[in-house]
Amino acid sequence: MAQPIVLQAPLLVQRRHEISSVDDEIVVSVQASSSIFNINVYFHLNDRLIFSATQNREIKLISQEYIIYSPYEIEIGRLRKKSIYEREEAFSELELSLGERQYQVKFSYENDAFQVINYEGETIASGTRIGEDWRRFLGMRTYWLNPSSEGVSTELWGVVLKGIQMLMG
């Protein structure tokens, strides 16, 4: 499985992931670069570009279209066997770097809930989706933030929201 994509704000970061299929006949390379305002993802199949996408909305549409024709389901930063009716995992995780500090974001597909965990394992922020039509920041869904979110820096929230956007695919 691919290593987590690491985001650093406000610098642009690029990570390359290579995942082999079970029979090792197919190698997919995922290159993702991200800043606070942009996501660029490039998928390569055996060194041949399958597709590229910019911004989360386009990535979602293209990946859904690609699933129809592929035995694999492509998600942001990883590749796994396609399952039309169910997901293999109920949540995704993303590691975030902000300066010297490390954070982990867990995103649940079941209820669009997320939590931010610091390096000590403490949940410092969490939230849930409050409406599909409530799109505000960077085209994201609007989230209701739990009280533990108070005091979290604006810079960290910018990275966290972008991380959630990537996990949502």
**pLDDT over 70 for what percent of the chain?**
11
Q: Which strand ranges, in their side-by-side order, compose the sheet holding 7-8?
A: 7-8, 91-98, 101-108, 114-118, 123-129, 143-145
Residue that terminates a domain, selected from 58, 81, 104: 81
Contacts of 22 (CB under 8 A, 6+ apart): none
pLDDT tier for residue 104 given thresholds of 50, 70 and 90: confident
Q: Tell me the pLDDT of the chain averaged across its residues.
A: 48
Domain match, 95 and 164 both: yes
The count of structural domains within the chain is 2
Instruction: Say what the pTM is.
Output: 0.35
Note whether residue 142 is domain-resident.
yes
Residue 96 counted as domain residue: yes
Q: Does 2 map to a domain?
A: no
Residue 1 domain-assigned (yes or no)? no
The answer to whether position 66 is within a domain reads yes
Are both 152 and 110 inside the same structural domain?
yes
Does the structure show a pLDDT above 60 at 21? no
Q: Among 78-82, 111-115, 158-162, which stretch is predicted with the lowest mean pLDDT? A: 78-82
Domain extent, residue 77, equals 7-81
Residue 86, domain member (yes or no): no
Q: Where are the beta strands (DSSP E) in 6-141?
A: 7-8, 13-20, 27-34, 39-45, 48-54, 72-75, 78-81, 91-98, 101-108, 114-118, 123-129
- Assess if residue 109 is contained within a domain: yes
